[in-house]
Amino acid sequence: MIACDTDVLIVVDVQNDFCPGGRLPVPGGSDVVPVINRLAGRFANIVVTQDWHPHNHFSFASMHPGKQPNDIIAAPYGPQILWPDHCVQGTSGAQFHESLCVPQATMILRKGFHRTIDSYSAFYENDRQTPTGLTGYLRERSLTRVFLAGLAFDFCVRYSAEDAQRAGFSVFVIEDACRSIDVDGSAEAAQSALQNLGIQAIVAGHFA
């Protein structure tokens, strides 16, 4: 496979808090960094997403007395998993992993900054109504194939892939450039969901 000028690599949330030692570490999260760095040299178009929560974000377990991380509550937009405080705006945990090297990225998309709505997808907040603007950006630039890598596969990568396909893009998930956090079987559920939608899983070695 050869990346062309109408392809975009979307690097999802490779931030300190999602890597070992962070507030919400994805097992093996930092292992995706060298894979993504190698992939980045194949793409002329790269978008990087960044979780960017206010300190009092609705999805934080600390905002709900008596609740713990991984508890589920009812939000106005549906079930909401509660998380440890993470990727708080301006903190070191919200910064990109120090070894991530994608200087040619043309866009950094911050998501999750609405206090009362969580955000997994790079395309829509979790209310499924509030767009991030990424769809319009990709269309304005005539980009048609989306390749996804990053953290975590079973949440932000999964929902980004689903929304990209829903928006009419051809979508590929680069499996060895992703890792899962796996909350109550979420990794297997994500794999099944993407397979059922016909979203292709590839590996970095497919690129020439």
At residue 206 the predicted structure's pLDDT band, cuts being 50, 70 and 90, is confident
Contact 17, 83 (CB under 8 A): no
Q: Is 67 a catalytic residue?
A: no
Given 111, 118, 154, 163, which residue is catalytic?
111
What is the average pLDDT across 125-139?
Answer: 96
Given 7, 13, 17, 118, which residue is catalytic?
13
Q: 106: which residues sit within 8 A by CB, 6+ positions away?
A: 45, 46, 47
Q: Is 111 a catalytic residue?
A: yes
Percent helix, strand and coil across the chain, each to the nearest 5: 25, 25, 45
Q: Is 7 a catalytic residue?
A: no
What is the average pLDDT across 134-157?
Answer: 98
% of the chain residues with pLDDT over 90 = 98
Contact 10, 145 (CB under 8 A): no
Question: Could you read off the pLDDT of 19-42 as tens digits, one per residue?
Answer: 999 999 999 999 999 999 999 999
Q: Cα dist. 137→47, 144, 203 in Å?
A: 10, 11, 26
Question: Could you read off the pLDDT of 56-68 as tens digits, one per residue?
Answer: 999 999 999 999 9
How many residues would you count in the chain? 208
Contact 194, 187 (CB under 8 A): no
